[in-house]
Amino acid sequence: MTYDSVEEAEAIHEVYPNAELVLRIAVTDTDAPAPMGKKFGAHMSHWSQNLDAAKALGMKVRGVSFHVGTGGCKFDAYRISIDNAKTVFEMAEQKNMPAMDLVDIGGGFSSNADNSEYNFEKIAPRVMAHLDHLFPASSGVKLIGEPGR
């Protein structure tokens, strides 16, 4: 289950203490027509306390999710978010938490052929290359996305 606050982790734990969690991080640096970072996701200043809360509750954090926004955006929004996901993985490791194994890059992809900077078919190879660089197949990290809008 995704969570993006200490309070959500506590509420999930109350109902389902054995749930495995995915920390949803906010995407604030995006040019998407419909950004999600204002409504969803933990801001960088809260990542550590969110991991600490899950650890204190004895809940496993499986990985990180983010959503750059709907309607498509430039590669940099994905690059920054993937870098941020890697930072969360490193934070969890430094806290001696179980190894994470999941990154969800969200959805909202655009196939708008009129704008090459937003066309997913054109940025997808760059997104995959960056994911492969930070989360290579040998890491055992599963990569998922949410196709469509």
Rounded mean pLDDT, 3-26: 97
Q: Which amino acid is at 23?
A: L
Q: For the chain, which domains are there?
A: 2-146 (3.20.20.10)
- Range with the largest mean pLDDT of 31-40, 51-60, 108-117: 51-60
Listed ranges 36-40, 71-75, 108-112; the one with the highest mean pLDDT: 71-75
What pLDDT is recorded for position 73? Answer: 73
**DSSP state, 79?**
H
Residue 67 confidence (pLDDT): 87
Residue 66 to residues 7, 56, 74, 122, 149: CA-CA distances in angstroms? 19, 23, 15, 20, 15
30 pLDDT higher than 70: no
Cβ atoms 65, 57 nearer than 8 A:
no
**pLDDT at site 137:** 94
pLDDT at 107 over 90: no
Is the Cβ–Cβ distance between 22 and 61 less than 8 Å? yes
- What's the pLDDT at 52? 98
DSSP track, 89-115: HHHHHHTTPPPP-EEEEEE--B--TT-
Cα distance between residue 61 and residue 101, in whole Å: 9
Rounded distance between C-alpha atoms, residue 54 and residue 36, angstroms = 23
Output the pLDDT for position 119.
73
